[in-house]
Amino acid sequence: MYWSEFLTVALIHLLAVASPGPDFAIVVRESVGYGRRAGLFTALGVGTGILVHVTYSLLGIGLIVSQSIVLFNALKWLAAAYLLYIGIKALRARPADPSSAELNLVAGERSGRGAFVTGFITNGLNPKATLFFLSLFTVVINPHTPVAVQAGYGIYLALATAFWFCLVAWLFSQQRVRAGFARMGHWFDRLMGAVLVGIGVKLALTEMR
């Protein structure tokens, strides 16, 4: 009965998740910088962050946030500040010691928990995701659809997001790919830092419509 609605949700989500954004940038950076384990944990954090948006969308809190300029701006600036913090740290990256470059490539110092939290916060604080899920749960999904079914959609979205970014992590954490990026050394870190800072600034200047 709800298959057509589910397929619509899945298609919209596919188009949204495939668009490069802060989630993509952070998964790539963690995967290249720290390896597959860190990349996968970051991807799982991004996927789990979806549940935050699903939860408040089901509770109707997303509607309140979208209608309050103060709450929306608070969320927006918090997210922008976090992305700027990560980006500036990356911009300050220094050239690695050539004698230890290979060692760092094989085993970067990054805990699974730290990578997971980074992915979770990056997604959970994204105000654009707030507006996306608000529109999804109020416009695309019929309000009369049972809450249990809507929650099922949310679980699917979280799993699909995690799966997609796990693929991204797997691709960018391959030894050949990492070795290629490693040859660029700190310049790759600075490039990703510039991307994150750019996204953070753009986010900070975004106005609620």
Q: What is the pLDDT of residues 34-80, one digit of tens each?
A: 889 999 999 999 999 999 988 888 877 655 555 666 666 676 676 56
Q: What is the pLDDT of residues 152-177, one digit of tens each?
A: 999 999 999 999 999 999 998 888 87
d(CA 129, CA 47): 12
Q: What is the pLDDT of residues 83-119, one digit of tens each?
A: 677 667 666 766 555 444 443 444 456 788 999 999 9
Name the region of 114 (left: φ>0; alpha: ψ -120 to 50; beta: rest).
alpha
* DSSP 8-state assignment for residue 136: I
| Predicted confidence band of residue 200 (pLDDT cuts 50, 70, 90) | low
- Tell me how crowded residue 80 is: count the other CB atoms within 10 A of its CB: 22
- pTM exceeding the 0.75 threshold for the entire prediction: no
Tokens of 18: 């495939």
Q: What is the pLDDT of residues 120-138, one digit of tens each?
A: 998 888 777 777 777 777 6
Question: H/E element holding 37?
Answer: helix 36-59
Cβ 128 vs Cβ 203: under 8 Å = yes
Tokens of 41: 């944990």
DSSP of 7-44:
HHHHHHHHHHHTS--HHHHHHHHHHHHH-HHHHHHHHH
d(CA 198, CA 88): 11
d(CA 24, CA 167): 11
Give the model's pLDDT for residue 107: 46
